[in-house]
A and B are shown apart, each in its own frame.
Chain A
Amino acid sequence: GAGVSQSPRYKVAKRGQDVALRCDPISGHVSLFWYQQALGQGPEFLTYFQNEAQLDKSGLPSDRFFAERPEGSVSTLKIQRTQQEDSAVYLCASSPGQAEETQYFGPGTRLLVL
């Protein structure tokens, strides 16, 4: 079956530009997570949705980062006024239920801010 998909796979932005990253989770998965992975590091948690409800946004690094999942399926991570330190791979993961620990990851979006 189809896994988690993300688009675009690569994004180059000029500093100060707004970007929007899309995640299509596995169909029917209740939970959706966003992670940020800097070069040479492990993924770091950004935010978590259970259906359309954003239950945890403690990992968002600043108020320039905003995520939504309005219909409980597709999610968008938006970064406003991008800065060079935002350059990273942004990973989306989904899991079947609210207490399911195994998260299935998409291929990521590699963002480069110049």
Chain B
Amino acid sequence: DQQVKQNSPSLSVQEGRISILNCDYTNSMFDYFLWYKKYPAEGPTFLISISSIKDKNEDGRFTVFLNKSAKHLSLHIVPSQPGDSAVYFCAASLRSSGAGSYQLTFGKGTKLSVIP
């Protein structure tokens, strides 16, 4: 049973427009969320994160929105650039679990293609 779901395997966006990547989760105990970007043959690169006490976090062209009641988060990229073309992974963790492990639970990823 997948606890973090990215239901869109792929997304194509015109350069300069907004890219919106979505992520849903089922475990209400998750309290920290991250987005990673991955190019082929490379490891995931951290992009942006958000704590469950916030509903928005912004860093340059990237904004993450969190809707706890809907157990949904989204990543907005504005404006989209061809270099943003990559696979984007949503991840969640139980920071306050006290269990001694801070493992990340990942979605399956969404492949973003930004068309010049």
Contact = CB atoms under 8 A, between A and B. Distances in A.
Contacts of B95: 99, 101
A107 B41 contact: yes
Contact of B102 (A41, A91, A101, A106): A101
A104 B34 CA distance: 12
B106 interface: yes
Contact of A48 (B44, B45, B101, B108): B101
Contact of B108 (A40, A55, A103): A40
A104 B107 contact: no
Interface residues of B, number: 27
Interface string B82-113: 00000001010101000111111111110000
A65 interface: no
18 contacts: A4-B43, A33-B104, A40-B108, A42-B89, A42-B109, A43-B44, A43-B104, A45-B105, A55-B100, A56-B99, A56-B100, A100-B102, A101-B93, A101-B95, A104-B46, A105-B44, A107-B41, A107-B43
Interface of B: 4, 6, 32, 34, 36, 41-46, 49, 89, 91, 93, 95, 99-109
Given A33-B103, A59-B103, A99-B95, 19 more contacts: A35-B104, A35-B106, A41-B108, A42-B89, A42-B107, A42-B108, A43-B89, A45-B104, A56-B99, A56-B100, A58-B101, A93-B43, A100-B102, A101-B102, A103-B104, A105-B44, A106-B43, A107-B42, A108-B42
